[in-house]
Amino acid sequence: MIIVLLVVLAIAMYLAWAYLHELAHLHAARKIVGVKYHRIVPWPHWHLGRFYWARVHYDYDRWPTAREQAWISFAPRYANLLAVVLFPLASFLPGWWFWTWSIAWGAGLVDLWSGSTGISKVHDLRRTAHGWGVSPWVLRIGGFILIAVSVVTWAGIRWGS
């Protein structure tokens, strides 16, 4: 029964982080260039022949510059950085609380992982790299290092000597 509850929690956290991710894009777009209309789809789906894990659609008040688009694309990373810091704290919690905290903030690490791949030309990572004038590998490696440090710290505190 506990396993079923943890799986349900993991699915709920996926949806919550997907929604938070898209909401971060929307918030940044509103602040930077303004938004006339928006629609968030926080679950996996196909749109115009492409698969999306989640997606936000918005109509800008004005079209962003490459640098502004970079900040809009980078916006979800702030919540991911919070997950990097808070995930290891689960190691101080007992039993059920340990697993709940680990899944809740671990989902943020999963979001950072998927955000650090940057395979597609329209991926957040590529848009950010283009707007900032850096190699996508700088952002990619940075994301993977943050994840590794968080997970190693989590495991070291929990099971280290």
Q: Give tens-digit pLDDT for 84-140.
A: 999 999 999 998 899 999 999 999 999 999 888 877 777 899 999 999 999 999 999
Percent share of the chain, pLDDT over 70: 99
Average pLDDT of every residue of the chain: 92
Q: Which amino acid is at 75?
A: A
Report the 3 state secondary structure along 120-148: CCCCHHHHHHHHHCCCHHHHHHHHHHHHH
Residues in the chain: 161
Predicted confidence (pLDDT) at residue 53 exceeds the cutoff of 80: yes
Cα distances from 79 to residues 21, 45, 121, in angstroms, run: 8, 23, 23
pTM: 0.88
Q: What is the pLDDT of residues 62-86, one digit of tens each?
A: 999 999 999 999 999 999 999 999 9
* Helix, strand, coil tally for the chain in percent (to 5): 70, 10, 20
Q: Pairing state of beta strands 55-60 and 50-52? A: unpaired
Q: Which residues of 81-116 are buried (b: 16+ CB within 10 A; e: fewer)?
A: eebbeebbebbeeeeeeebbbbbbbbbbbbbbebbb
pLDDT of residue 161: 57
Higher pLDDT, 35 or 160: 35
pLDDT of residue 118: 77
Higher pLDDT, 160 or 151: 151
Locate 66 and state its tokens. 């490459």
Q: Which amino acid is at 100?
A: T
